[in-house]
Amino acid sequence: MVSEPDGADNGSLPTANGAAPVQVKAGRHREASLYHALAGAGAGDGRTLGELREAALKVYESSELPVWRRSGFWSTSLQSLDLDALQTSVDAHGVPEIVTSTLPERPRAGRIVQSAGTVVQVELSEALAERGVILCSLEQAFEQHGELVGAWYSKRLPIDRHKLEAANAAFWTGGAFLHVPEGVVVEDPFEIVYAIDRAGVAQYGRTLVLGGPMSDFRVQEYDVAEDFEGQALHAGAFELYLQDGARCRVAQFQDWGSGEVFDSSTRLVAVGRDAYCHWLPALLGGHLVRQHLELAVMGKGGDMAFRGVFFAEEQEHLDVFAVDLHETGPSGGDVHWRGTATGESRASFEGLIQIDPGAQQTHTYLQIHSMMLSPKARIDAIPSVLVSADDVSASHGGTVGELDETAIFYMQTRGLDRPAAVRVIVEGFFEPLISELQDEALEQLVRERIEQKLAAAREDIETYATSR
């Protein structure tokens, strides 16, 4: 956590076309109170892409770096990010090694990879292309499928809440666009990858996914980085729209490695009439990560399962705001997150159920369970409910726990040594959600990454467990 100094220099970001950086007037950083639902307050109101970029640029120029504060809790500040030192236009040298070494090798429907501001790989099954599936850069999609893209781009994503959200809308290049047409069923996953392979990069990942009526498919996003010294930025925007009767399983794997990567992203999934989405982010690393994740049921009969896991280590700072939004009923929802923290890390999860007026016969439940593995780590779990309808069932719960010494002792009596017992307990804590990925290769990747983090924090975990 970083304090908010008076008179700090807000810095600048280079423009997308490589022109001189836009200088921002120095001054006191304002507090940004953004812990509320987007609730459909998007920017897509008929303006062209150029007009939206211009409007976003004006917001960017007049805004300061955001500070998110919870009264009585703590702050998330980006003041230590040196924007002057970051570049959007960097040479890409093919697919970064971190992509090939991280992503599982298995059948896939398609893949698009972006490194910094450049799309470096696009693959799509020929058979799917013949059935009308589109997977390409978002820039290409505007050029070749402008009417389709224009109707949905930023339909529910805003561009004016804070400086980095505006920067994404103003400066993004490359991007990813996926359209699965009506009635098309795809078994293998589509992979969308954003990779950072060096320090000094400002990456603006922009993704738009459309699921046509009665379509059925999987989307997996991977956010990965090489280990490096120095700062980098990922300011992402993800929007997925499921039309009537569509079904989609969305997974997000994020591990920015040991570099000083800042991540400020806004992600939205909107579910139409009788549609269904299962969404599971796995947030497993980053110097400072602040994500707004919103799953909105906007059509009658819509249903969703919103899952998530997080693991904060060393001195990482994680701030997650997850929204279960119901705009109409009947509708269903189920939110379940689990997380842990080691070292001197700080993690906060705030989950909000919001049921709008008229969303009668909505049934939803939100739960967050967290585990402390270090005396200096801190986790805040903040579930809340905002209900504006009277024929609903909505409830929430949260727990923050520690390693159970009795369980450790029991496992030791069954032949495990103490480190193995601790590992089994923590891995078992996450397993109910990991198994919901229903993708053996991705499940194994998440398990391995959690195991690596536990091994790295073994001494700290042991000291904490034996001191109590």
Mean pLDDT of 402-424: 82
For 146, the domain range is: 12-299
Residue 348 covered by a domain: no
> For the packed helices 418-434 and 405-413, what is the interaxial angle rounded to 10 degrees?
110
Residue 70 covered by a domain: yes
pLDDT single digits (tens) 327-385: 999 999 999 999 999 999 999 999 999 999 999 999 999 999 999 898 889 999 989 99
Residue 394 covered by a domain: no
Mean pLDDT of 66-75: 77
**Residue 160 pLDDT class (50, 70, 90 cuts):** very high
Work out whether strand 317-326 and strand 118-124 pair parallel, antiparallel, or are unpaired.
unpaired
| pTM (predicted TM-score) | 0.91
Residue 349 covered by a domain: no
Residue 249 covered by a domain: yes
Instruction: Kindly report the number of other CB atoms within 10 A of residue 111's CB atom.
Output: 21
For residue 397, the cross-strand partners are 367
What one-character DSSP code corresponds to residue 162?
A: S
- Return the minimum-mean-pLDDT range out of 98-107, 169-178, 235-244, 417-426: 417-426
Residue 370 covered by a domain: no
pLDDT single digits (tens) 285-323: 999 999 999 999 999 999 999 999 999 999 999 999 999
pLDDT single digits (tens) 420-450: 888 888 889 999 999 999 999 999 999 999 9
The distance between the two most distant Cα atoms of the chain, rounded to a whole number of Å, is: 67
| Domain count for the chain | 1
Residue 232 covered by a domain: yes
Residue 319 covered by a domain: no
pLDDT at 1 over 50: no
**Which helix or strand (DSSP H or E) is residue 329 part of?**
none
3-state secondary structure of 66: coil
- What pLDDT is stored for residue 466 in this prediction? 65
